Structure 1
C-alpha cells in the first residue's frame, strides 16, 4: 500500500486489497480481499467493501454503506450513508432441507454503477441492476430494475420522476430540450433516454 493512502488504525483492510493513492479509509471500515479501490476515494466510518469489489477513482462511500461483491463502481460514484448494494437474488440462510447454506449454494450477482452516479442515504439497489451514468437514486429508494443515465428515481420500488444533470440538479424543460440550471448543459430526450445537445 502506498504511503499516500490513509487507513485509520481501527479500519480492517485485507493485505490482498489494492488501494490507490490519496484514498482514505476511516474508522471501523472494512475492505476485503481482492477489492480494488481507485485513487482519491473516501471510504467512510463503518463502510463495508466486499471481496473483489471494484471502485473507480474519486468515489465516495459514506458511513455504514455496504457494497457487496461483485459490485462494480465507475469513477466519481457516490454511495450515501447506510446505502446497500445487494448480491443475492434469492436470499436464504438455509437450504430446503434445513442445512446451512455455504458459498457453493448460491451465485453472487452484482450491482453496476456507471460514472458520476449517486445513491442516496439508506437506498437499496437489488442486484443485478445497472445504475446509469450521472443518475440520482433518492434517499430511501429501492431499485429493482436498471436506471437510465441521468434519471432521477424515487420510491419503493424506485421509479423515474425526472432527469438530473452532471451537477446533480434536476433538469428544467426548455421547449424540446432539458437544461441544467447550474451548468447550462442541454439534453434531448429520445426513447426514454437523454443525450447531450451540442
Structure 2
C-alpha cells in the first residue's frame, strides 16, 4: 500500500497514531503499535514488531525478525542486522511489570550485527560496531568495536566501518578512507 509519504506492504499493520517519515518502507508482517515515531527514508524489513514508545531516527535499516520494545531509542543512520534482540526489563516476571522501562539508546551511525543481544539500559555509541552474536552487557563507546559473550571492546572503527589501527604510539590516526582520529588520555578514539 502506497501513500504520499511512505510505502507499507499489504500484510503490514501500522496502528493509528504512528508517525512515519517520507520515503520510509515498511515490509511484510511488520506490526507497529500506536505512539511510535519513525523518521524518513528508513527500511523496516519483514517480521519486525515495534512497541509503543519506541523512537526511530532517519535513514535507519532494521533487518528481519527484530522486536523493538518500549524504551528503545534508535538514532539516525543506524543498521540493525537480522534477529537482533533487545530487552527492556532486567528482572522479568510474568504479570509483574516495571513502572518504567530502562532506556536503551543506539546512537547515530552505529551498526549491530545479526543475532546480537542488547540488555536494557545500554548505550551504544556513535558509529560503534557490534559483531554478530555479541551479548552487550555494558555501554559501548563511540567508534568502539565490540564482540563476544559477554561483549568486549576489542578495537575501534571509523565512521566508514573500517577498523582503525590504534596500536601505534601516535596520537593521531588516519583511516584508509582519509578520516583522522585521535586517542584521548583515557584511551578513547575521537574524531
Give the TM-score band, short-chain normalised: over 0.9
Number of residue equivalences? 187
Provide the secondary structure at the position in 2 that maps to 1:58.
coil
Partner of 1:161: 154
Partner of 1:145: 138
Gaps of 5+ in 1: 94-100
Q: Could you give the per-residue CA deviations for residues 21-73 of structure 1, whole angstroms, max 9, x where no partner exists?
A: 00000000111110000000010100111111001100000001121111111
TM-score in terms of structure 2 length:
0.92
Structure 1 residue 189: Cα displacement: 1.6
Partner of 2:175: 180
Partner of 1:98: none
Q: Of 163, 171, 187, which aligns to 1:192?
A: 187
Cα distance in 2 for partners of 1:165, 1:62 equals: 22
Map 1:106-121 onto structure 2 (within 5 A). Answer: 106-121=99-114
Gaps of 5+ in 2: none
Structure 1 residue 87: Cα displacement: 0.6
Contact 1:23 1:42 in 2 (8 A): yes
Structure 1 residue 117: Cα displacement: 0.3
Cα distance in 2 for partners of 1:81, 1:52 equals: 22
Contact 1:35 1:51 in 2 (8 A): yes
Change (3 A) 1:2 1:194: farther
